[in-house]
Chain A
Amino acid sequence: MAPLRAGLRWKKSKPLVVREAIAGYFFILPTLLSFLVFFLIPTISGLGMSFFDWDFFSEPEYVGFDNFLELADDKLFITTLKNTALFAVSATALNVGLGMFIAIGINSIKWGWLKAFLRTSYFIPFVISTVVVALLFGFLLQESTGVVNYYLTRLGFDKVPWLSSSLWAFRSVVLIDVWKHVGFFTLIFLAGLQAIPRELYEAALVDGAGRLVRLRRITIPLLTPSLFFSLVIALIGAFQVFESMFVLTNGGPGDATRTVVMLLYREAFGSFNMGYAASMAVVLFLVILALTITQVRLGDRWVFYR
């Protein structure tokens, strides 16, 4: 019992603030540890690795900025960077725009049961694994025997080369991404809408404001925090896209749907160029960081916090 008593004495001897702080640190310890082990240490290792030529088998060789200089001349990397940026812009615009539109639509429904049903329905694709979604759409979008083309031809349209033409393959992966993620953004906007005080709408009604005026003057301004959050999250996620394209098109036809992360994966785990792949990861990280900082800076000008 002696050590316990000693412990209790020690506990009592500390001021409440210190004891609370220690308890607090214990609470965040699991998260802190996982952040260190799974994020910070790998990130720093990846940064270090980008200055080396390492193929997994032999000793790493320090090459300074050579990997980054090589990247600047790598046409395939530039192509994948463009593809990634185009995908990020398209998918973000559609996910966030449609998400807001759907949320406003659902929020205006009077029947509670229908509102709950739609809210759940839109969210279901988000909880399905991306690989499963990609495989499913792979079947649906087959050119010759796919269900979608079957119904299109029944309606008198031509078959669409959903995954086998460069243009359509890119459109398809964007559309599939939107199908999967729009429910998440709808949920964010629904939460934002429900936080808008009813009194504001009632006052606007009394002042004779119509539906469009209320939307423009109350709903959208008060949704800007949700909009800002959605844009940041969507853009970061879109720049990291990998699984859906890997499974659906494997980057093809040609390199039409190849993204930076896909190229990075191939360099690291197909060609064993770990250093070169790490330099791609660093560049991608810097691009995402720059975009996020820009968004945050610009956000000060248009995000309205009550």
Chain B
Amino acid sequence: MSGNLKRICTVLLVLLLLTSASVFTSAQDEVTLGFVYGSFAPQEKWEAYFEGFLAEHPEVTINYIPVPLDSWGDYTQKIVTTMLGGERVDVIWNAIEAVPLMAERGVLLELDSFIESDPDIQEFLDDAHPKLLEGLRWNDQQYLLPFAWNTTLIYYNKSVLESAGLDEPAPDWTWDDFLHYAQTITQDSDGDGTNDVWGFHANAWLWHLGPWAVANGSFFLNEDFTEPWYDRPETIEAFQFVHDLMWEHGVAPTGSFNFREAFVAGTLGMMIDSPAGRQRLIPAGMSADDYDVNFFPSKSGQGATGSQWGTDGYGITKDSEHPDLAWEMVKHLVSTDVMSKLLSGEFASASAPARTSLASDPVLVAASPANYWRFYEALEGGRTVINAPYFAELAEIHDRYMSQAWANEMSIADAAANIQADMEAVIADNS
């Protein structure tokens, strides 16, 4: 073999080795991360969220795992079942209600060690609303990073109020003011004995009933959810006031009622809804100028602004084989770039973004009613939704007795007493 041929062969051999080494290396580095999300959102939404992350980490492939979301307890159970079934899950999207359960059962990895060793996350921690970050902690450890949040306020249809000759309500309105508004709005215009326009819609859901108690200085349970407060006079009288709107004053319909449709149609003057409620009004043809939001009224107009709030976020599973990459994924999901997608574009959602810097985003402001800032006030002075490991049991006890009170088959006082006793038993069993 001539010297030239030898050299050529050597070069070719080296090139071949280098190529195979690089192929081998890239094959080795390929990583699949399992991501769990509520199946009501299309996969395309998450693909749009992950665009930047995948560009930065071309070695990553995401395994999208949609899980049906009926209730948070049910959703959490399905995630656990999915994982027990052998599906590799690295990052989870879930809500505040599920944090205690998932943390206590060892499904989630605590995020504090990542936070302490990664200075890049400080920018998010400084920007995220502190109540949301706090809400996603359990036993002094952070389990999810917040993404979007919701709370409830009283929505009022401006044209319905105008037709009834009412001015927009004051932020420190009282129960008497509220009742006056509801009575004035409620109309049986054709005199057939059936109201054509209702003042308000009241239901017994935890999400809708809680703020009435908060505005009256109480709630369902104490701060750490170890003591039911259904025996407190403030709780009982708040629920009694709402109940009376239906059964005493006849200004709210009884039984099931499509309140959002009625609100859009102008046959309901006031309803309870969250920031996400805006997104449902827009397709129905309502603009931000057609309605506004107000705080829950209080008994004596003490100007209580707090409501009940909840948030969702992202966390890492204990089973993750790539926790560092999963952490990068979580960081990406709470970045300003991704969170801005909540505000506009194909996959916009009206849930409020966790970053405070986005609260005054022009897109958000333009799509919101004038008093949109009241949602932030409501969050500031509000209570979190019930988030305890035995959340599902407590919610069911509330529903069991309150549904009977709402059907006027049991008094509010009796329902509250039964709920108090049953919740105390559940808490004692779990302590």
**B255 close to A161 (CB less than 8 A):** yes
**A270 partner residues in chain B, CB cutoff 8 A:** 71, 73-74, 77, 392-393, 396
Known contacts: A253-B403, A253-B409. The answer to whether A144 contacts B80 by CB under 8 A is no
A138 on interface, CB distance cutoff 8 Å: yes
Q: Which residues of chain A from 65 to 87 have a CB within 8 Å of any chain B CB?
A: none
Binds A, one of B166-174, B222-230, B256-264, B333-341: B256-264
**B404 close to A166 (CB less than 8 A):** yes
Q: Which residues of chain A from 250 to 298 have a CB within 8 Å of any chain B CB?
A: 250, 252-255, 266, 269-272
B425 to chain A, nearest CB (A): 12
**B396 partner residues in chain A, CB cutoff 8 A:** 266, 270
Contact residues of A: prevailing secondary structure: loop
**B406 close to A145 (CB less than 8 A):** no
**A269 close to B77 (CB less than 8 A):** yes
B254 on interface, CB distance cutoff 8 Å: yes
A43 on interface, CB distance cutoff 8 Å: no
Q: Which residues of chain B from 396 to 426 have a CB within 8 Å of any chain A CB?
A: 396, 399-401, 403-404, 406-407, 409-410
A272 to B198, CA, bound (A): 41
Known contacts: A253-B404, A254-B403. The answer to whether A145 contacts B258 by CB under 8 A is yes
**A56 close to B403 (CB less than 8 A):** no
**A269 partner residues in chain B, CB cutoff 8 A:** 73-74, 77
**A250 close to B399 (CB less than 8 A):** yes
What mask results when residues 139 to 183 of chain A are scored 1 for a CB within 8 Å of chain B, else 0?
A: 100111100000001000001011111100000000000000000
Known contacts: A166-B407, A271-B392. The answer to whether A138 contacts B400 by CB under 8 A is no
**A165 close to B409 (CB less than 8 A):** yes
**B255 close to A142 (CB less than 8 A):** yes
B106 on interface, CB distance cutoff 8 Å: yes
Q: Name the contact of A161 in the complex, choosing from B258, B392, B393, B407 (C-beta under 8 A).
A: B407
What mask results when residues 133 to 150 of chain B are scored 1 for a CB within 8 Å of chain A, else 0?
A: 000000000000000000
A57 on interface, CB distance cutoff 8 Å: yes
**A143 close to B254 (CB less than 8 A):** yes
B107 on interface, CB distance cutoff 8 Å: yes
Q: Name the contact of A253 in the complex, choosing from B81, B107, B406 (C-beta under 8 A).
A: B406
Q: Name the contact of B253 in the complex, choosing from A138, A143, A153 (C-beta under 8 A).
A: A143
**A163 close to B255 (CB less than 8 A):** yes
**A254 close to B404 (CB less than 8 A):** yes
**B256 close to A57 (CB less than 8 A):** no
Query: Which partner residue on chain B sits nearest A248 by CB separation?
Result: B256
What mask results when residues 230 to 262 of chain B are scored 1 for a CB within 8 Å of chain A, else 0?
A: 000000000000000000000001111110001
Query: Which partner residue on chain B sits nearest A142 by CB separation?
Result: B256
Q: Name the contact of B254 in the complex, choosing from A138, A139, A144 (C-beta under 8 A).
A: A144
A165 to B105, CA, bound (A): 39
**B400 close to A142 (CB less than 8 A):** no
B113 on interface, CB distance cutoff 8 Å: no
**A142 partner residues in chain B, CB cutoff 8 A:** 255-258
Q: Name the contact of A144 in the complex, choosing from B106, B255, B390 (C-beta under 8 A).
A: B255
**A144 close to B73 (CB less than 8 A):** no
Query: Which partner residue on chain B sits nearest A256 by CB separation?
Result: B404
A74 to B400, CA, bound (A): 16
Range class of the B interface residue count: 35 or more
Q: Name the contact of B192 in the complex, choosing from A138, A153, A250, A252 (C-beta under 8 A).
A: A153
B80 to chain A, nearest CB (A): 6
B84 on interface, CB distance cutoff 8 Å: yes
Range class of the A interface residue count: 20 to 34
Q: Name the contact of B409 in the complex, choosing from A56, A250, A254 (C-beta under 8 A).
A: A254
**B80 partner residues in chain A, CB cutoff 8 A:** 56-57
**A162 partner residues in chain B, CB cutoff 8 A:** 255
Known contacts: A57-B105, A153-B193, A266-B396. The answer to whether A145 contacts B401 by CB under 8 A is no
Known contacts: A57-B106, A142-B257, A145-B262. The answer to whether A164 contacts B400 by CB under 8 A is no
Known contacts: A153-B192, A166-B404. The answer to whether A143 contacts B409 by CB under 8 A is no
A102 to chain B, nearest CB (A): 31
- Among A139, A144, A159, A166, the most chain B Cβ lie within 10 Å of the Cβ of A144
B194 on interface, CB distance cutoff 8 Å: yes
**A161 close to B254 (CB less than 8 A):** yes
A159 to B253, CA, bound (A): 12
Query: Which partner residue on chain B sits nearest A164 by CB separation?
Result: B255
Query: Which partner residue on chain B sits nearest A139 by CB separation?
Result: B258
**A138 partner residues in chain B, CB cutoff 8 A:** 256
A157 to chain B, nearest CB (A): 11
Q: Which residues of chain A from 95 to 117 have a CB within 8 Å of any chain B CB?
A: none
**B399 close to A144 (CB less than 8 A):** no
Query: Which partner residue on chain A sits nearest B409 by CB separation?
Result: A166
**A272 partner residues in chain B, CB cutoff 8 A:** 77
**B254 close to A164 (CB less than 8 A):** yes
B381 to chain A, nearest CB (A): 31
**B192 close to A143 (CB less than 8 A):** no
- Among A139, A143, A254, the most chain B Cβ lie within 10 Å of the Cβ of A254
A75 to chain B, nearest CB (A): 11
A275 to chain B, nearest CB (A): 15
**A153 close to B403 (CB less than 8 A):** no
Q: Which residues of chain B from 150 to 200 have a CB within 8 Å of any chain A CB?
A: 192-195, 198
B275 to chain A, nearest CB (A): 26
**B254 close to A56 (CB less than 8 A):** no
A250 to B204, CA, bound (A): 13
Q: Which residues of chain B from 41 to 97 have a CB within 8 Å of any chain A CB?
A: 71, 73-74, 77, 80-81, 84
Query: Which partner residue on chain A sits nearest B426 by CB separation?
Result: A271
What mask results when residues 219 to 261 of chain A are scored 1 for a CB within 8 Å of chain B, else 0?
A: 0000000000000000000000000000000101111000000
**B407 close to A164 (CB less than 8 A):** yes
A302 to chain B, nearest CB (A): 41
**B400 close to A252 (CB less than 8 A):** yes
A270 to B198, CA, bound (A): 36
A265 to chain B, nearest CB (A): 9
A300 to chain B, nearest CB (A): 44
B251 to chain A, nearest CB (A): 12
**B409 partner residues in chain A, CB cutoff 8 A:** 165-166, 253-254
**A161 partner residues in chain B, CB cutoff 8 A:** 254-255, 407
A254 to B400, CA, bound (A): 4
Given A165-B409, A253-B406: 7 more A-B contacts, CB < 8 Å: A145-B257, A145-B258, A159-B194, A165-B407, A255-B400, A269-B77, A271-B393
Residue contacts A-B, CB under 8 angstroms, 8 given:
A143-B257, A165-B407, A166-B407, A253-B403, A253-B407, A254-B404, A270-B73, A270-B393
Top 6 nearest A-B pairs (CB, nearest first) are A143-B255, A144-B253, A164-B255, A252-B403, A57-B105, A270-B392
